[in-house]
Structure 1
Amino acid sequence: MGSTEGSIDNARARRRLRRKHKQLLRTAGRKPYLEPQPSDGSSDEVDACGEGSDGDACELQEYEHRFDTRGQMRPLRVGTKEAFEFSKDPSHRAAIVLIRAYGPSRNLLGIKLEIRSRHIRKALREVIGTYPSVSFHTSGCISVNDPPMCLFHYRLELEEYATHCGNPLAKAHINLCLDYVKSSLRQAISAFEAGMGAEKGPSIVHRDLWMAFKPGILIYQRINNTDVVLRLLRVESFKWAESDEVQVWILTAERIDYNGIDYGYIGHTINIKKYSGYKLMRELRAFPLECHPNKEKIRQNLARRGRKFVSLTGICHRFYDGIAHFYMDPSSTHTTKFNVKHRVMIDCKEFESQTNLMHIKFLPYTKLIETASKDHLSLSEEELLLCCHEVQGFSLVWRRWATLHVDNISEVQFNADAFDQLVFSEEKKNLIRSLVNQQHEDGAGFDDIIQGKGKGLVFLLHGPPGVGKTLTAESIADHTKRPLFSICSGQLVGPAPTVEQTLSRLLSLAERWQAVVLIDEADVFMQERTLLELERNGLVSILLRVLEYFEGTLFLTTNRAQTIDSAFRSRIHLSLAYPKLSNGALRALWENTIIRGCAGHRPRWLKDEFLDDLAKANVNGRDIKNIVRIAYAMGKNSRRKMKAKDIARGLAAFQAFNKDMSGNGETNQ
């Protein structure tokens, strides 16, 4: 009997619902859903939830899922007093179904919005397309968790879509959805709009922070005093188990980085912890770029930085001036910060192979921007803003890897005249220039002409200190516009296998970068071998063996050419002796160095008589450089240009120091 009465009640309810829906459709100017409508055959006209009539009723039904006395989850239509059994899709006629799920202790577990209307689903697919944690292309209903972030973020676009869709019923369904958003978020929207229009600037409360962060927008963050722009992927909340309040908003964003082969997107996470009351957007750890008071300037600066970042594709020789984070231990991610001002090599690919650090990992399911050359890489203006602000490089002075700031990188200003200004015979300079140029142009083919087992070009420069041996290597590197890779013998210490491994690694880098290599004070590696010093003999053998396979340009300097092992003779292509500087050479060095210290201009006080007096001083080339540096510092400290009296005072200070060190008043050459 009870079953029969229930069936009658259900039938009456269905008739009332059908009459109500017919009335709605007549108002909208459409035929009732019981009468089939012509279709253009598009897939959007096919109902994905099941029957063609599913979700056609322009209404929102509310259900509560609660546990009964037997511990089973039961659905309860809001407004009824008891749970009732129904079909698989009990609310299939409603355009939207709101479901609140409660736990055994009657605590609210969550709220879900099921969108069944084919009109709303079509609008969401076309207007939003993709959104984190929401599938718009499912064959069934579209489920949206509370709060309905995607509907709020695209509410204006959906309103525009409804206005121009040309379908009164679709417009009614979409407006029903938007009405729910406005109703359920009434207080939050009111608070959000009030904060955005605040007189002191856009502000927001922590609870409603998600409203300002629409996935896909550009967000601004300050990292290590550097402007950074990222693209927001999603916003997630973190709550304590027994609390409804959000403790932390987690922003997941992406930016573009380079691993030495491809450009791609890497992830970046920002946590915004709970705070009280309203807070200015610009005071948050990250906020939408559109809320930045200087957003246009930020865009211009970051676009320029992005273009520079792209220009560093592959292997690049650059100058760096600023803070660098050095990896003192290649196996550790710990870095030490130093302020440096010298030339570096940018080589992200080699950094990944030379260190044991955590390498760049691109986000899965994101498109790689493949490039074989920076000339073929084309990024949009927005992508340029997203480019990373740091690159990995190698210090040619410290011979260590470091993280470098893109803004501090500039082109190398080569001194093209340095080699011509070298105080050396023109014949020897021409010989060096010819050999280096041909080695640079022909590479391995040079070995067919020059005697030697290896394919490289090896020079031996010998003579007393300060006569220009090191300067020769430096100036030839600038003349050929190639990096100078200096290796100090003090670097090569330890057991023979370790020394060989270190030397081979450094020379391998030099070959890769086509650098001019300078091993200064190489005496310990070149002295003649004896039967009594087996350890030093091992070092000599190491250098001989490494030179056998070296294919670049190498300069060796020594003060004791007479003690060189005979085995080096076949490895050295050209040996140049540097005698003690004559008065004429010293005079020329004084003149050139002082002019460089005066920004390339010859000062009026630099007379011939003054230069003649300076040339009589018992100094070498390195001493002259140090004296002029002292004079330059004195002038700068007094906020004026360098004067003759500064040179005289610097020379006097140097001579006094030399006298104290030597004990007999003679310069220690």
Structure 2
Amino acid sequence: MAPADMIHTGPPLSAAQPATPPSSPNQLSPVTLNNVQQFIDMVKEVVVREIASTAPASKIECPDHQTSTQPITIQDLEKLFLKLIDTKSDSATEISQAPQPNSSQPKAVAQASLLAFKEVNEVWDIKAYKYTVVESPKPKEISGLGQYVFVVRGRVDKKSEQTTYYIDINSLTLRDALRNVLHDVAGISIKEEKLSVERNILYNFLPEIESCRNWNEIDPLDQTSHEHIQLLIDYIKSSYADTTQRLNVLLGSKEITYDLLWVLFKPNTLVYTTCEGTKKPRCIRYESGEAETTPNGLEYFHIKGNYVEFDGKVLGKVPVQTAILSFRGSKSISTLEAFPLLHHLTRETVQEELTECGRKFCSLVGVSHREYKGRAFQMEKGKAVEISVNSRIIVDPAMFQEVNPNYARPSVFKRSGSIDIWELMLNDDPSTQLDESTLKKSVDLDRLDAEDLLICSPTVLGFSLEDHLWLEFAVANISDISWNESIFNQLAIPPKSKTLIQALTTEHLMQEKICIFDDFVKGKGRGLNILLYGPPGVGKTMTAEALSELLRKALFTVSAANLSHDPATLDKQLAEIFELASHWNALLLLDEADAFLRQRSENHQHNTLVAVFLRKLEYFQGIMLLTTNRVRDFDHAIQSRIHIGISYQPLGYNTRKMIWDNFLTKTEGVVISYSAKELEHLATQNLNGRQWKPKKVRLIIDVSPQIKNTVRAANALANHSKTSLSITHIQTVLDIGKVFENDFKGTGRTDNMGAYF
């Protein structure tokens, strides 16, 4: 710097120096001098009066030319001395507190004016109950930390005693640049005036920080800004030189060590793992992670992230967590319980699958009726209980949560050997209900980007119509329903009955919102109740299933045998059943409803059950089908609520022939060739049909089938003998069945009874 540019902060060299500096203790204020002069005058007066007390009485003038008329006592002197002392003390205080040009106080410095950084340490102060700076720097230097571009602060954890390093940014330019880089990193308050970032995170984002040197908001001619950024870059590179060297070697062989997991997981990285319940792939967005230890000493890397979920009301991002158990040495990245999607061996293929799964998940937002085939699960006591499902399902997260309010969705977890990682975090599992405490950010369905599709939930909550279970279903196993309306035409009932059923149900669906026909009481009598009665195995349940195909409605089947005989419990069960059927706009089938249709008598409990059922039935506004084996003792009140009754007779020759033909030609997994004569022979067998299962259509299988079971047993026999299914296999099963029939109902029963005598 040229001499003309030098700035001198002291007084001018040509100025006259004061004889006594302003801070000199020898210089007294005017107030102090006046008090001393008064003291001298007072002493003189005391002396004069003392002399006068020994002389004749006369007027004596004081030195200040005032005549004294009152004696001065010792108390007056004491007051004078005290006043002098107080005045001196106040004057000295004023002098010491007054700012002086040559004061020894430290001079003020500009923020981030020193192109350097400072390292300090923080430890937990038990007495102050906070983290405090110790050892370095000295107390006088603490207030001067602002002059550095940034301060490296090492905090010693009060429990683990491990040191975590933070970077406190003082440079405004560096702060703004880091805000641009870290704006979407969880856990960093970028809007605070003083930005503080964990040092490891800055290493994760070192490439982005290096690119800040070309940031368009920095003036290329602003040398100071570039120096501040370069200072941070140089420090990070120097501090992590060994880490970088180790990491390059490990990543070259696609491996990682436990202590370097934090380097592998960069904030906002897509993390690949699998769903424990369905074993399907999934992704989450990584937020943060840290090494932790369980109370029994088990070490693991705790990962926290988020994913897109729908709870029936809100589509949003919710928290999720997983863990990686500690391991020795290096380990292949793709074998970890969770790892960045970038390191997947078939990343492009998996990414396509996850994207398609995300699109399907978005299509299931709301209430959906779909087909499902695969494994589903439900959580019980923190464990995923799996079940194989081949059924039509209702996807309904909101109703799932209402029926199962205490159900906790699992975090991401995997088993590693004999240790269940889920157990590590069982007490810290977040609910995925999107309330204020868990909702990260509500999401507009139309604004989901490609990355959001990758982190959509791999499962949805719903109800299996065949298994009667609330489960979590893998999105990948859900498909659209292939409706088969032709099944209705194959029903073995009179054509007039089929026409009437079709007309009533179609008209009811058209008039649901108009409510032309109604009782006098609003809300009563709006339902359509159809009674199907006849012996077992003649097609009653098949009619309900075929009607479901024709109307393209879900069929919600309830067996009366599973309903309670306690009136209060029955009332709650029926209320829930009717609510679900209405909510899903489904056909309701009450199978084997004899107990609720029988005429009321002297049995008080039975009468109460009928009354409860009748009351609920009156207010149900959907389509309900009831099946029973008898109608002779129908309750009159129930009978008045039945809109139509369809009678089913035992199967005749032609009907059995049609059923045999349907089972042999349209049942999935059955391949057989037969002649017309062989089919006629099968039709002569006195068997009931129950229902057949056509290809691509899932029907609910009733109990105790005969024709269906015969075909199934014959097919198993053919598979066991490694031959194709033939009429010979079917005849073998029929012959064995005749023996059982004879023993159960025929002469064999009498012969067996004779053995007891």
TM range (shorter): 0.7 to 0.9
In the superposition, relative to structure 1, how do residues 665 and 575 fare at CA in structure 2: closer, same or farther (>3 Å)? farther
Q: How far, CA to CA, are the matches of 2:119 and 2:156 in structure 1?
A: 14
In the superposition, relative to structure 1, how do residues 443 and 334 fare at CA in structure 2: closer, same or farther (>3 Å)? farther
| Structure 1 position 168 matched with structure 2 position 223 | yes
Q: How far, CA to CA, are the matches of 1:103 and 1:426 in structure 2?
A: 82
TM-fit CA distance, 1:178 = 0.9
In the superposition, relative to structure 1, how do residues 655 and 598 fare at CA in structure 2: closer, same or farther (>3 Å)? farther
| Structure 1 position 159 matched with structure 2 position 210 | yes
In the superposition, relative to structure 1, how do residues 160 and 109 fare at CA in structure 2: closer, same or farther (>3 Å)? closer
8 Å CA contact retained: 1:597, 1:628: no
Q: 2:441 aligns with which of 367, 382, 395?
A: 367
Q: How far, CA to CA, are the matches of 2:479 and 2:269 in structure 1?
A: 31
In the superposition, relative to structure 1, how do residues 438 and 73 fare at CA in structure 2: closer, same or farther (>3 Å)? closer
8 Å CA contact retained: 1:447, 1:454: no
Give 3-state SS (helix, strand or coil) of 1:360's partner.
Answer: coil
Q: 1:399 aligns with which of 468, 471, 477?
A: 468
Give 3-state SS (helix, strand or coil) of 2:747's partner.
Answer: coil
- Name the counterpart of 2:684: 616
| Structure 1 position 441 matched with structure 2 position 441 | no
- Name the counterpart of 1:5: none
Deviation sequence 1:570-611 (CA, Å, 0-9, x none) = 10000111122222222222222222137798x65231x223
Give 3-state SS (helix, strand or coil) of 1:98's partner.
Answer: strand
| Structure 1 position 150 matched with structure 2 position 220 | no
* Aligned residue pairs, count: 590
| Structure 1 position 190 matched with structure 2 position 245 | yes
| Structure 1 position 344 matched with structure 2 position 401 | no
Give 3-state SS (helix, strand or coil) of 2:441's partner.
Answer: coil
| Structure 1 position 628 matched with structure 2 position 717 | no
In the superposition, relative to structure 1, how do residues 234 and 585 fare at CA in structure 2: closer, same or farther (>3 Å)? same
In the superposition, relative to structure 1, how do residues 651 and 84 fare at CA in structure 2: closer, same or farther (>3 Å)? closer
Deviation sequence 1:87-128 (CA, Å, 0-9, x none) = x63133321233456799xx8865443321222112212222
Give 3-state SS (helix, strand or coil) of 2:565's partner.
Answer: coil
Q: How far, CA to CA, are the matches of 1:160 and 1:629 in structure 2?
A: 69
In the superposition, relative to structure 1, how do residues 250 and 441 fare at CA in structure 2: closer, same or farther (>3 Å)? same
| Structure 1 position 517 matched with structure 2 position 588 | yes
Q: How far, CA to CA, are the matches of 2:376 and 2:157 in structure 1?
A: 54
TM-fit CA distance, 1:632 = 3.2
Look up the equivalent residue of 2:182 and give its one-letter code: I
Q: 1:572 aligns with which of 622, 642, 645?
A: 642
Q: How far, CA to CA, are the matches of 1:276 and 1:600 in structure 2?
A: 54
TM-fit CA distance, 1:249 = 2.7
- Name the counterpart of 1:561: 631
TM-fit CA distance, 1:397 = 2.0
In the superposition, relative to structure 1, how do residues 448 and 189 fare at CA in structure 2: closer, same or farther (>3 Å)? same
Look up the equivalent residue of 1:342 and give its one-letter code: S
8 Å CA contact retained: 1:326, 1:400: no
TM-fit CA distance, 1:498 = 0.6
Question: How much is the aligned-residue C-alpha RMSD, in angstroms?
Answer: 3.3
In the superposition, relative to structure 1, how do residues 630 and 409 fare at CA in structure 2: closer, same or farther (>3 Å)? same
Q: How far, CA to CA, are the matches of 2:663 and 2:709 in structure 1?
A: 10
TM-fit CA distance, 1:637 = 4.2
Give 1:51-70 correspondences, 5 Å limit. 53-63=110-120
In the superposition, relative to structure 1, how do residues 155 and 327 fare at CA in structure 2: closer, same or farther (>3 Å)? closer
Q: How far, CA to CA, are the matches of 1:539 and 1:240 in structure 2?
A: 54
Q: 2:618 aligns with which of 548, 564, 570?
A: 548
Q: 1:504 aligns with which of 570, 575, 589?
A: 575
TM-fit CA distance, 1:168 = 3.0
- Structure 1 stretches of 5 or more lacking a match? 1-10, 13-50, 372-376
| Structure 1 position 325 matched with structure 2 position 382 | no
In the superposition, relative to structure 1, how do residues 326 and 528 fare at CA in structure 2: closer, same or farther (>3 Å)? farther
8 Å CA contact retained: 2:155, 2:164: yes
TM-fit CA distance, 1:239 = 6.9
8 Å CA contact retained: 2:529, 2:641: yes
8 Å CA contact retained: 1:606, 1:644: no
In the superposition, relative to structure 1, how do residues 504 and 213 fare at CA in structure 2: closer, same or farther (>3 Å)? same
Q: How far, CA to CA, are the matches of 1:535 and 1:149 in structure 2?
A: 72
TM-fit CA distance, 1:437 = 1.0
- Name the counterpart of 2:236: 181
Q: How far, CA to CA, are the matches of 1:568 and 1:251 in structure 2?
A: 60
Q: 2:727 aligns with which of 628, 636, 644?
A: 644
Look up the equivalent residue of 2:678 and give its one-letter code: F
Q: How far, CA to CA, are the matches of 1:450 and 1:431 in structure 2?
A: 22
Residue identity over aligned pairs, in percent, reads 28
Give 1:408-419 correspondences, 5 Å limit. 408-419=477-488
8 Å CA contact retained: 1:100, 1:110: yes
Q: 2:352 aligns with which of 300, 309, 327?
A: 300
Q: How far, CA to CA, are the matches of 1:205 and 1:101 in structure 2?
A: 25
- Name the counterpart of 2:68: none
TM-fit CA distance, 1:238 = 3.4
Q: 1:483 aligns with which of 554, 572, 591?
A: 554
- Structure 2 stretches of 5 or more lacking a match? 1-8, 11-107, 409-430, 691-705, 750-757
TM-fit CA distance, 1:370 = 5.0
With normalisation by structure 1, the TM-score equals 0.81
- Name the counterpart of 2:605: 535
- Name the counterpart of 1:16: none
| Structure 1 position 289 matched with structure 2 position 341 | yes
8 Å CA contact retained: 1:64, 1:77: yes
Deviation sequence 1:549-585 (CA, Å, 0-9, x none) = 1111111111111111122221000011112222222
Give 3-state SS (helix, strand or coil) of 2:146's partner.
Answer: coil
Deviation sequence 1:521-565 (CA, Å, 0-9, x none) = 21111111112x221122222221111111111111111111111
Deviation sequence 1:38-69 (CA, Å, 0-9, x none) = xxxxxxxxxxxxx994113322234457999x
In the superposition, relative to structure 1, how do residues 577 and 117 fare at CA in structure 2: closer, same or farther (>3 Å)? same
Q: How far, CA to CA, are the matches of 2:366 and 2:165 in structure 1?
A: 51
Give 1:53-132 correspondences, 5 Å limit. 53-63=110-120, 83=138, 85-86=140-141, 89-100=143-154, 111-132=165-186
Look up the equivalent residue of 1:487 and give its one-letter code: V
Give 3-state SS (helix, strand or coil) of 1:417's partner.
Answer: helix
In the superposition, relative to structure 1, how do residues 204 and 322 fare at CA in structure 2: closer, same or farther (>3 Å)? same
Give 3-state SS (helix, strand or coil) of 1:579's partner.
Answer: coil
| Structure 1 position 251 matched with structure 2 position 303 | yes
Give 3-state SS (helix, strand or coil) of 1:92's partner.
Answer: helix
- Name the counterpart of 2:31: none
With normalisation by structure 2, the TM-score equals 0.72
8 Å CA contact retained: 2:153, 2:167: yes
Q: 2:362 aligns with which of 281, 300, 310?
A: 310
- Name the counterpart of 1:383: 452
Deviation sequence 1:362-388 (CA, Å, 0-9, x none) = 3656221256xxxxx442221111011
Look up the equivalent residue of 1:663 and give its one-letter code: G
In the superposition, relative to structure 1, how do residues 514 and 597 fare at CA in structure 2: closer, same or farther (>3 Å)? same
Q: How far, CA to CA, are the matches of 1:382 and 1:629 in structure 2?
A: 48
TM-fit CA distance, 1:420 = 0.3
